[in-house]
Amino acid sequence: AQSVTQPDIHITVSEGASLELRCNYSYGATPYLFWYVQSPGQGLQLLLKYFSGDTLVQGIKGFEAEFKRSQSSFNLRKPSVHWSDAAEYFCAVALPGSSNTGKLIFGQGTTLQVKP
Amino acid sequence: DTEVTQTPKHLVMGMTNKKSLKCEQHMGHRAMYWYKQKAKKPPELMFVYSYEKLSINESVPSRFSPECPNSSLLNLHLHALQPEDSALYLCASSQGYGSTDTQYFGPGTRLTVL
């Protein structure tokens, strides 16, 4: 079945530690890939996106993500987490093709907790 | 400026009330979206407007009625809602209506239906 999967519902890391949030997709064609962050009670902010080209993508707030076609993955990373990174993180895909325009398909989200 | 604004921030309404949510963007974007987000869940697409015309209605009940008066404004009219409609309603906009057009989200309206 076509899907976007974020295997980790909840992750806790210590401040200053590195972070990796996983995202896997299952579609016939490689979709366009996005990571959004949502602070409590707020809207979603785009961290980064991947359409094509260099498979390592740099985003805002020190985040990066790596697209791995062989693993159908687009994992989000940050070398050193700050307390302000505590939030909900959503991986999302958009499917190529005119019949799919306007639709973002979201994973279930990963809640990041940061310990002092 | 990549700002999408939404009013009100919070709304409490009874099941017999009529209310409206408002969304505004001044980025010249030609596509606008309404999403519904329940607690601890991802956003669910409700409606998409492209060039002020309704392009997608994700089988949303008729008690939700979208309106796009102009390219900068998007409204969501609410009538006879149910308690299960309580959620965060997010508006988004994008430059165009393609799969590679990044959607920018507003802060949302927290709706409570009593």
Q: How confident is the model at residue B1, as a pLDDT?
A: 58
Tens of pLDDT, residues B39-90? 989 999 999 999 999 998 999 999 999 999 999 999 999 999 999 999 999 9
B108/A43 touch (CB, cutoff 8 Å), yes or no? yes
Q: Which residues contact B55 (CB under 8 A, 6 or more apart)?
A: A102, B31, B48, B49, B97
Closest chain A residue to B41 measured between Cα atoms? A108
Tens of pLDDT, residues B98-111? 888 899 999 999 99
| Distance of alpha carbon B31 from alpha carbon B44, whole angstroms | 17
Closest C-alpha among A69, A62, A1 to residue A37: A62
In the predicted structure, residue A28 carries a pLDDT above the cut 80: no
**Average confidence (pLDDT) over B5-25:** 95
Out of B31, B99, B105, name the one closest to residue A44 (CB).
B105
Q: Is B39 on the interface with A (CB under 8 A)?
A: no
Q: How confident is the model at residue A74, as a pLDDT?
A: 97
pLDDT band at B97, cuts 50/70/90? confident
Percentage above 70 pLDDT, chain B: 98
